[in-house]
Every structure is written in C-alpha cells, then in structure tokens.
Structure 1
Amino acid sequence: MTPESLKQTAGLLLDVGGVLYQGDEALSGAVAAFKRLKTSGLPFRLLTNTTRTTRTELASRLAALGFEVTGADIVTPASAAAAILDAEGARPHLLVHPDLLPDCPPEAAEPNAVLLGDAGEHFTFERLNRAFGILIEGGRLYALGRNRFFRGRNGFELDAGPFVAALEYAAQVEATLIGKPSPEFFRAAAAAIDLPSEKVLMVGDDLEADVIGAREAGLEAALVCTGKYRKGDAMAAKKGGAHVAASFAEFIDAFLL
C-alpha cells in the first residue's frame, strides 16, 4: 500500500480492542488521533467482532476512555444477525454471552439453528451439547465470529473460533460466518457509510480477521502493531498490499497528512 492509495480512501472502518484501547486503558495517542479523525469529517464506523457486549455498552466504555462515539457508530455481528437469520428462515438457539442478548434476535421456542458468539465462561458442556443436538438434527450453525483468540486483561484468551470448529467437527456442518472476516460483513459496513468497498480502508490489529479479510472483500487495509499483533505479521500484511503502522495514532498521522 502506498501513500497514493491512502489518499484515495474516502472512509474508514476501525477495529476497537487492540487498536483504540487495551484492557481498561486507551492506547497511547489513540484518543487524540480519534478526535482528529472526527474533526476531519471523514465517514467511519467502528467494526468489531466483540460478542460479549452490546453496542450501547461498548459506546459507553469507549466514552469513558475519551472516545466520543454512540452505538450508531458501531457495527457488530450481533447487530447484523437478526436480519440475516430472518431472511433465511432461521429460528435460533442462542449460545452467546448473556451480556449480548439485547443486541441478538430472540431465542426461538423451537430452534432450527444455532447462533454462536464468544460466550466466555458460559461455554459449558451442557450448553455446547444442546447446540450440538440441534445441529446433528439438521440445524444450521451461524457464527458471530471465528477469531481464535484475543488479548484480554490477563493475557491471551480463547475467542469463539475454537468452539465453532468443535461444533463443525462434531456435527459435520459448516458455519455461516456473520462477523469478520466475512466479506459480506465488511461490505455491509462500507455500505453503512455510503461508500463502495474500494474506497474504504479497514484498520485492525488482527492479520487474519482484519487485514486479510478486508483485502479479500475488496477494501484497503492497515495493520497496527498493537493488541494481538505478533512478530511476522507486518511482513505478511505488506505482502498482501496492506499498510503497516506502529499504532492507530501513527496511522492517523500519516493518513491525515
């Protein structure tokens, strides 16, 4: 990715955890950089695979850290799930974190599908086995994300991906992905700011879900070396045509130059 391609970008999609904040603190320079972005008037959305908190709760958490956002600025898999499942006639059993329920479609009395997100400590054998029972009888599996892990307060933690893989293997089904790196998810977020995919750039700390996923969906992408970034990711990102910056603040400095 070149400075010229940065100049052609008309809107941004920003990952949240690992890009704007880490744990309970904003990353260095991120608040000031975000204010510069908002002042510029450039359209943006916060695009996150988080499946433990609602958009309203996430907006409140970000506001407490100094980021001026509302729930309407945020796109999550859960916020997109209801329309997708309804269009396909799916009546879901919810295997998600309880905190996420306000953003999810309602639990069906007679489910013919499973909607799975990062349930954290609520991934019990009983809950997984109930989901397996629906799938083995022909139900469809929808995944709000399939990230392998994320960096939490106590280091790296398992995300939803390993549990999606376990149910796929056990029930011999293939999950329909709603969150990143689904191309449809990136394109829907680009459409939310009224821009074609090729005019939008995704900024993230996850090489697979953020950078490679965005590139495969036709977006530009930038990898920041914070959050879950690991040695070697920068070279892979550059080979795929993405920009690399040490942080979100450094990226904004270059982008708004």
Structure 2
Amino acid sequence: MAFTLYTLIQTAILCTNAVAVLHEERFLSKIGWGVDQGVGGFGDDPGVKAQVLNLIRSVRTVMRVDIEGQNEAGAAPDICRGTATNAHTHTEISVIQRLQPLPIIKQVSSMAGRRALKAVLIDLSGTLHIEDTAVPGAQEALNRLRQASVAVKFVTNTTKESKRNLLERLQRLNFDLQEKEIFTSLSAARSLLEQKQHRPLLLVEDSALEDFTGIDTTEPNAVVIGLAPDHFNYQTLNKAFRMILDGAPLIAIHKARYYKRKDGLALGPGPFVTGLEYATDCKATVVGKPEKTFFTQALSDLGCSPNEAVMIGDDARDDVGGAQNTGMLGILVRTGKYREGDENKINPPPHLTCDSFPDAVEHILKNLL
C-alpha cells in the first residue's frame, strides 16, 4: 500500500512538473538565452556557453538514469512516459536554478574586489624626476598610461618653484604634460589665502612667488611657510615667531621631513614648521599632502571619487598614506626619497611597493583596469 501511494505521488509530481518545461531549448528560452544570446551574467563567451550546456545535459542524463532505473526496478510505472522525460528536464531546471547563481556571485565578488579605476594621481619630484634627471623609463611609462581609459593628474608638494617653472623643467625632460594637469600645494595655499582673505608673510623661494601674484602681502597677518632654504635664517623665522605669538595663523604649505636632491637627502619645510609650532605652542594648518582636502581638491575636476583613483609617489607618509586615508589606493616607488622599510611606517601599508614609476604603471595596466 505504502509502495503504491509513493508511486502515485511521484507520478503526480512528475506529470505536474512536465507542464513547466518541455525540453532543454524551452529551458534556455526560459532563462533568456536563445541560440544567439548569452545569459545575463555569463556574456556571449562561447566557452562558457558550452560549459553550461554540458552541465545541463549532464544533469539531465543523471536524472534520466536515476528515474529510468526506478522504472526498471518497478518503482515507477510506464504510464505518462513522455511526462517522465519532461520531468527530467524540470529536475535539471531545479538543479540548475540552484547552481546557476554560483558563477554569477563569483563574478560580482570578483568585481567588488576590483575598483573601477578612473584616475591616477602622480607625484613629481622623486617619482618622475630628481631635479633635472628623469627616472629611467618614466616618459615611456607615462605615455602608456595615457593610452589607457583613465584621467591623469600630477600632484606635488614642491614649493621651490612656480608651476610654470616646474612645467618647463618637465618638458625639457621630454615629459608629455600640460600646466592644467599639475596641482601643487602652492595652488592649495593660494586658494586658502583667498578664501580667508589673509595677507601672508610668504616664506617660500623667490622662484615660487609667481604663483602668489595678486595676493596682498602688505602688513601681513598670516605666516605661510614652504621650502625656502634662502629664507630660513634666524631673522626671518624670528619675525614669523613673533607674528604667530601676536595671533597670526601659521599655514604650512606642507610638512615633509626631507626630499631628494641629486647630492642626497635634504631637509624639507617640516622641521621648520614644527619648530615654529613648538616655540609658539600652536598648530599649523597644513594644505598640501597628506591632507585629505588636498587630494579631494586634486580629484574635484576629474569627475571621480577617491575610491576610483590611485596615487603613485615616493613618500610613504605624504603620498601613499595621505592618499589611502582619503580612500584611494596608494603605490609606493623605491626612487627619490624612499628608504628601506618606509612601507612599514604607515597603516594600512601601501597597496603595492615597487621599484619605480614604470613598474607602478605596469601593475595598473595589468591589474587595475
């Protein structure tokens, strides 16, 4: 009796399921995959399509053998034979419906792990060049990067020279770039001065003063300090010290500890800014790298957010650490000011540490695009 009841129930289920799908082609049509179409998540890759078809046929074959085996054992009658065949197809649908999402989920997961890269920010001094010497292969690597579907912008804390002078230096080194593509900490400092309507005491090199043309410097009420070796003397620093004590804000174009010259490492403005902070018991406003506002300003006209950009630089803290704290990926290069172990000085560590700018470009082209 129990055997007969089981047989009747199974037969009823098989017959009911047969109404849903009649054969393999109906199944393919049901999921939106015609002869010349690809499944949404799979695309039109013929190799993938063949694999899925084989999977469908394999499942159907297994289920047919199973049910036909039951027939041979007398578990299922021969009635509704065509329906049983249709039930095989339904069974394969039930299995495939459970299996089908797996590769799609894997694809989404893989895409989630890779960012949609839209922009690359590139440091200049120490990354593309050291004074009047280009990093080997940097020009060719930059040309390769420009051929990819990403925006390129050059961001620098250089305060020794104006943007125009910097552009001329780079063009002499055969780098293909335009002035509008360069965003400097001098530009960020000028924007802040205009916003706050400060009249600055400018502690920058004379070659950088061009970028402050039009800014009122009479009777200064703010101290702006960049890299100014020719002005870092006791008299000038003491004047800045007294102004800050009297309430003038201290604005640091950046606070880099040191930078690379062709004769070796040299002090950056950071030690002098820190000295004034210590003497006056105040905190400087920093406008250049590694500040978040610097990076977001640099990206503002590129139409992308930080999580769609990557930064390449030789300074672990200012270039890479600052970029990653903003939400970007950071690639550290072992040129310029880099010293062994710099990648361990920031948390999280760099997305990648490589030998030079060309290696960084190679990684981007192969893994991030």
TM-score, normalization by structure 1:
0.93
2: distance between equivalents of 1:5 and 1:201? 15
Q: How many residues align?
A: 256
Give distance in 2, aligned partners of 1:238 and 1:148. 18
- The 5 Å alignment of 1:218-257 reads 218-236=327-345, 239-257=348-366
Contact 1:14 1:202 in 2 (8 A): yes
The one of 265, 270, 291 equivalent to 1:156 is 265
Residues 93 and 238 of structure 1: is their aligned pair in 2 closer, same or farther, counting only changes over 3 Å? closer
Residue 124 of structure 1: how far off its partner (Å): 1.4
What corresponds to 1:89 in structure 2? 197
Post-superposition offset of 1:239: 4.6
Counterpart CA distance in 2 for 1:210 and 1:22 is 16
User: 1:72-221 to 2 correspondence within 5 Å?
Assistant: 72-104=180-212, 106-221=215-330
Match of 1:22 in 2: 130
Q: 2:158 aligns with which of 50, 57, 61?
A: 50
- Rounded to whole Å, the distance in 1 between the matches of 2:111 and 2:353 is 12
- Contact 2:332–2:353 under 8 Å retained in 1: yes
Secondary structure of 1:256 counterpart: helix
- Per-residue deviation, residues 57-98 of structure 1 (Å, max 9, x unmatched): 111111111101122111111112222122223221111111
RMSD between aligned alpha carbons? 1.9
Counterpart residue identity of residue 264, structure 2: G
For residues 110-154 of structure 1, what are the alpha-carbon distances to aligned partners after superposition, in whole Å with 9 as ceiling and x for unaligned?
Answer: 221111110013211111111112111000000111000011121
Residue 232 of structure 1 deviates from its aligned partner by: 1.1
Larger mean Cα displacement after TM superposition, 170-179 or 22-31: 22-31
Amino acid of the residue matched to residue 266 of structure 2? Answer: E
- Alignment partner of 1:33 is 2:157: no
> Does residue 1:9 correspond to 2:129, yes or no?
no
Secondary structure in 1 matching 2:147:
helix
Structure 1: give runs of 5+ residues left out of the alignment: none
Structure with higher helix content: 2
C-alpha separation in 1, matches of 2:283 and 2:348: 29
Q: Is the 8 A contact 1:93 1:107 kept in 2?
A: no
- Checking the alignment, whether the CA contact within 8 Å between 2:321 and 2:347 is kept in structure 1 is no
Unaligned 5+ residue runs, structure 2?
1-109
Q: Which range moves more in the overlay, 3-12 or 22-31?
A: 3-12
Are the equivalent residues in 2 in contact too, given 1:146–1:160 (CA < 8 A)? Answer: yes
Percent identity between the two aligned chains: 35
Higher relative contact order (CA 8 A, sep 6+): 1
**Residues 250 and 285 in structure 2, CA contact (< 8 A), matched pair in contact too:** yes
Cα separation, 1, equivalents of 2:209 and 2:328? 30
Q: Could you say which structure has the larger radius of gyration?
A: 2
Q: Which secondary structure does the structure 1 equivalent of 2:295 belong to? A: helix
The alpha carbon displacement at 1:192 in A equals: 2.6
C-alpha deviation, 1:6, in angstroms: 6.2
- Cα distance between partner residues in 2 of 1:134 and 1:183: 28
**If the length of structure 2 is used for normalisation, what is the TM-score?**
0.66
Q: Report the Cα distance in structure 2 between the residues aligned to 1:174 and 1:238, rounded to whole angstroms.
A: 23
Q: For the residues of structure 2 that align with 1:24 and 1:87, how far apart are their CA atoms?
A: 35
Q: Name the structure where strand makes up a greater proportion of residues.
A: 1
In the TM superposition, residue 3 of structure 1 has moved relative to its aligned partner by 11
1:152 and 1:194, CA in 2 relative to 1: closer, same or farther beyond 3 A? Answer: same
